[in-house]
Structure 1
Amino acid sequence: MTPITKQKAPAEKVRRRKGISPWVPNQHGAWAMLISPAALGLIAGLVAWVRADGSPLALPVFLAVLVAWFFGYFAFFAFGLAVKARNPRRRARYLRPVYVYGAVSLVGIAVALLLQPQLLWWALPFAPLVVIAVGETVAGRSRSTLSGVSTTVASALLYPALVGVGSGSVGAAAWAGMIFLAAYFSGTIPFVKSMIRERNNPRYLTGSICYHVLAVFAVLGLVLLAPVGWAAAVLMVTTALLALVRAVYVPVAAHEGADWNARRLGMAEVPVLLVACAGVLATLF
């Protein structure tokens, strides 16, 4: 055994012993879902606030809602690790960020409700989604499609919620943006599963393609019924079509031997995500 090998072995053992850090979510694909609706909602909310000549008290509410959202997700991620941990010491280590992040999230919620009590009604759509995600995690199905869809829809709901913070009300265009974001991000779940966890399951691939076909027609109906404007309509439909193309082409290419690893999948999704974000922002004009 060479000296170099002796030096590497302990480091590898330390990495295995440490495991996943519960303080920083390692699900890179979730970051786009986590950040995009929040950023879009903040922009749309600030635009609505300026147009409505809103109260200065809305500004700290924006911050409080975002703190509640991000730290709430961080607590949920750490909770998922704690549920799966069999070692009591590791479970205790995973629960620490649950308490810390959970407390910070609750402070954000309290501040937001103190300044805008009407935000309490958002608990009606958010609470069932949180219950589903937590229930799936406790049942050992944290990576299930149901859990993923519940979190993506909750993320999309952040968009109209932030618009409401700025304007005091939520119009049809904001709800259309929410539905569009929920449909787009929900579609990434079966697509990614068809490439990784379910890559050898032809029925799952068929289901993914069928979802994206239906999503194209759903988005077409959405832009025809909602007052989103022609530019937003074009961008939203383009997003749905691009998502359908990649849902068909990428699995076929991978089956034929192309190297579509997780990193390449994430990079390829960036242009589609940017078009989707542009479509939502276009509803503001």
Structure 2
Amino acid sequence: MTGHAERTAKAAPRPGKGRRGGTSGWIPDQHGAWVMVIVPLIVGVLLARPAPVHVPLAVAWFVGYFAFFAGGLWLKARGPRKRRYVAPLVTYGVICAVAALVVVMMRPTILVFGAVFGPLVAVAVWEAWRRRPRSLLSGESTVLASCAMIPVTAWAAGDPMTVRLWVATAVIALYFCGTIPYVKTLIRKRGDRGWFTGSVVYHSVAAAAVTGLAVVGLVTWVAVPVFLVVALRAWWMPRRAERRGTPWRPRTVGFGEMAVTALVLVAALVPPGVFQPVTV
């Protein structure tokens, strides 16, 4: 983690850490990404039905994320440091390929989603190669690829692509895509008026879109106050940090997003017609 105190020469490195304090590539240190890796797979299973194919699919997905993380480090490294990341990249890459092959053998038509994942992964790899792994383009492409796992999970089980499935995917994608600019306004782009304005506008549009979905009966009305809270926090959190003159701690931001993510999942998974407003 950047800003971390250097270890003394005699101190033993922690698991997943290199001898000079950097990550070895075996264990991803981007803790916020774990939610985006885990949630779509779980949501897909909940909206579809558990099936044997989900086991190799989960292995391919999680190990694929590990391989992507190690690959990003390999692309950024220069000179001899590249060798540090070869072992995790090759190991995870082989495991991912084998698991993916099993999925394809069990459900060959799943290859149609290559048209979705291919361009998104290509964009993320390109940004990593250009040494811009934290760019908005890279972040949004990986988020969209993550959300695409919801329909992939249902397709793998042989379930139909229902309207509810696609709407839930859209609701979760609206939220996750917004976390990229929101977190930047609190940390890396703190105090940047352009990023702040863009984040607030995006979240306002997302709240309006979810309200429209509720009006036509595609999502429960619970989703409306949830996304209003999401939009409010996109405005209030950066403003509060600016007024008090101290930034939010990453841990505080992380715990807050865990709570908001739980609310968004309720909004996406509760069937339409539940908790509808009472008309007089």
TM-score computed with the length of structure 2 as normaliser: 0.87
Out of 14, 27, 31, the position equivalent to 1:28 is: 31
- Return the letter of the residue paired with 1:270: M
Q: Does 1:43 align with 2:34?
A: no
Is the 1:235–1:276 Cα contact (8 Å) retained in structure 2? no
- Return the letter of the residue paired with 1:198: K
* TM superposition shift of 1:162: 1.0
User: Pairwise mapping of residues 185-200 of structure 1 onto structure 2 (< 5 A)?
Assistant: 185-200=176-191
Which segment drifts farther, 189-198 or 219-228? Answer: 219-228
User: Pairwise mapping of residues 78-93 of structure 1 onto structure 2 (< 5 A)?
Assistant: 78-88=70-80, 90-93=81-84
Structure 1 equivalent of residue 251 of structure 2: 263
Q: Does 1:138 align with 2:126?
A: no
Q: Distance in 1 between matches of 2:154 and 2:113?
A: 12
Q: Distance in 1 between matches of 2:78 and 2:12?
A: 19
- Return the letter of the residue paired with 1:79: G
Out of 239, 245, 253, the position equivalent to 2:240 is: 253
* TM superposition shift of 1:279: 2.0
User: Pairwise mapping of residues 211-222 of structure 1 onto structure 2 (< 5 A)?
Assistant: 211-222=202-213
**CA distance change for structure 1 residues 254 and 163 in 2, over 3 Å: closer, same or farther?**
same
User: Using CA pairs below 8 Å that are at least 6 residues apart, which structure has the higher relative contact order?
Assistant: 1
SS of residue paired to 2:157: helix
SS of residue paired to 1:234: coil
- Return the letter of the residue paired with 1:199: R
Out of 55, 60, 63, the position equivalent to 1:63 is: 55
Deviations 1:24-45 (A, max 9, x none): 1111111111111111112222
- Return the letter of the residue paired with 1:86: R
Structure 2 equivalent of residue 56 of structure 1: none
Is the 1:22–1:77 Cα contact (8 Å) retained in structure 2? yes
Q: Note the residue ranges of structure 2 that are not aligned, 5 or more in a row.
A: 1-6, 275-280
What percentage of aligned pairs have identical amino acids? 37
* TM superposition shift of 1:180: 1.0
* TM superposition shift of 1:134: 0.8
- Return the letter of the residue paired with 2:105: L
Is the 1:122–1:161 Cα contact (8 Å) retained in structure 2? yes
Deviations 1:102-135 (A, max 9, x none): 1111112111110111111111111111111111
- Return the letter of the residue paired with 2:222: L
Is the 2:181–2:195 Cα contact (8 Å) retained in structure 1? yes
User: Pairwise mapping of residues 67-216 of structure 1 onto structure 2 (< 5 A)?
Assistant: 67-88=59-80, 90-216=81-207
Q: Distance in 1 between matches of 2:11 and 2:201?
A: 43
- Return the letter of the residue paired with 1:170: M
Q: CA RMSD in A?
A: 2.0
SS of residue paired to 1:79: helix
Deviations 1:2-27 (A, max 9, x none): xxxxxx74346967614113111111
Structure 1 equivalent of residue 225 of structure 2: 238
**CA distance change for structure 1 residues 259 and 144 in 2, over 3 Å: closer, same or farther?**
closer
Q: Note the residue ranges of structure 1 that are not aligned, 5 or more in a row.
A: 1-7, 50-58
- Return the letter of the residue paired with 1:278: V
Structure 1 equivalent of residue 9 of structure 2: 10
Q: Distance in 1 between matches of 2:212 and 2:10?
A: 56
Q: Name the structure where helix makes up a greater proportion of residues.
A: 1
Which segment drifts farther, 165-174 or 71-80? Answer: 165-174
**CA distance change for structure 1 residues 194 and 259 in 2, over 3 Å: closer, same or farther?**
closer
Q: Distance in 1 between matches of 2:213 and 2:152?
A: 20
Q: Does 1:283 align with 2:271?
A: yes
SS of residue paired to 1:76: helix
Which segment drifts farther, 11-20 or 139-148? Answer: 11-20
- Return the letter of the residue paired with 2:36: M
